[in-house]
Structure 1
Amino acid sequence: MRYATLTRFSLLLVVVMISISSCKKSGTVPKSLLGTWNEPAFPSGFSRSVSFYSDGKFAAVFTAYPNPLSGGSSSTITTSYTGTFTVKGDSLLSNITTMAEQENTNTPVTSPSNQKLYEYATFKVSGNTLMLKYTTYPADAPVATEAKFTRFLPD
């Protein structure tokens, strides 16, 4: 009787160990992606910055600077995003959880969000350059888009 119980327990232990070891592990974040990345301000007055952290969280800041001379806005609009991300191969899956918008020095308006930071994104890090390829939806059709970021503190 003891032998049968011990055999069943051993068999159960083997099944549990196999089950645990066969669980799919989430994508690990490559160290080369971690840190803060900046995109220089365009002549149109728009800049972006994104930070990726080892705990799978990110923070991003997009700023539109005033351009009143060309008939544009005279306000600086800053939109900040926080959320989580995972990496699978060269795919970057980012989910915004909080969004805050601030005009000039006014108090930011914060709201929850469930959008993607970069839709269908892939990435490549080469030295201190991060290339993102993703999809945007500016009007009625998706557009393939690329962004080039530079590491904030180069290696």
Structure 2
Amino acid sequence: MKNPTSAISVLLLFSLSFFSCKKDRNVNPENLIKGNWEEMDLNGLKRSLNFTKDNSFFLNIVLNDGSSSQFIGSYQIQGDRLKITTTEKLEQEQGKPVQRTPTNYTLYENATFSITGDILKLNYTSYPADAPVNTPAKFRRLITIDEGGLTP
């Protein structure tokens, strides 16, 4: 190129187009996990999670006999790590009143998570026979209806 201004213009145009096409890689994991999730591949029970925008957490478990439990608490995210602490457990057997119990323990110990599309994968430590076992769980996002209409 004969004109230095033309060379600078081409370089500037290339730089602007390169940086303007950069994808946003700083997606906040808390924004991805918020909402309702139902565990996949379960037999004999239904388990669902709800992560709210104010960092409240709800775990609902419903057995085939109609009894149910709900754990209420809060969650924190650091990178791909998920910490859930319960503050209350509600239990109800069919035809009986709800029993409330204060709690203070960690659910899904040492949990990490990833989200691909509408699938949440949790990996956590469980103790089925008093020995730690790495345990995976998969949840699918549920669509809910709120004041603004359908939301994932």
User: Above 0.5 in TM-score?
Assistant: yes
Q: CA deviation at 1:109?
A: 0.7
Q: What amino acid maps onto 2:33 in structure 1? A: L
Matched to 2:126, the amino acid is: T
- How big is the shift at 1:106? 1.4
CA distance in 2, matches of 1:126, 1:41: 17
Q: Is contact 1:39-1:47 (8 Å) kept?
A: yes
Alpha-carbon distance between aligned partners in 2 of 1:50 and 1:86, rounded to the nearest angstrom: 14
Tell me if the contact between 1:41 and 1:47 (Cα under 8 Å) persists in the aligned partners: no
Contact 2:29 2:79 in 1 (8 A): no
Task: Give the whole-Å Cα distance in 2 for the aligned partners of 1:105 and 1:118.
Answer: 30
5+ unaligned residues in a row in structure 2: which ranges?
A: 1-27, 144-150
Alpha-carbon distance change, 136 to 32 in structure 1, aligned in 2, over 3 angstroms:
same
> Is the contact made by 2:73 and 2:88 (CA closer than 8 Å) also made in structure 1?
yes
Distance 1:103 1:41 in 2: 24
Find the counterpart in structure 1 of residue 72 from structure 2: 82
Q: 1:62 to 1:30 in 2, by over 3 A?
A: same
Distance in 1 of aligned mates of 2:119 and 2:81: 17
Deviation at 1:85? 0.6
* Aligned match of 2:30: 30
Over the matched positions of the two proteins, sequence identity in percent amounts to 36
1:41–1:48: 8 Å Cα contact kept in structure 2?
no
Return 5+ residue gaps in structure 1 as ranges: 1-27, 67-75
**Residue correspondence of structure 1 range 57-96 to structure 2 within 5 A:** 57-66=56-65, 76-96=66-86
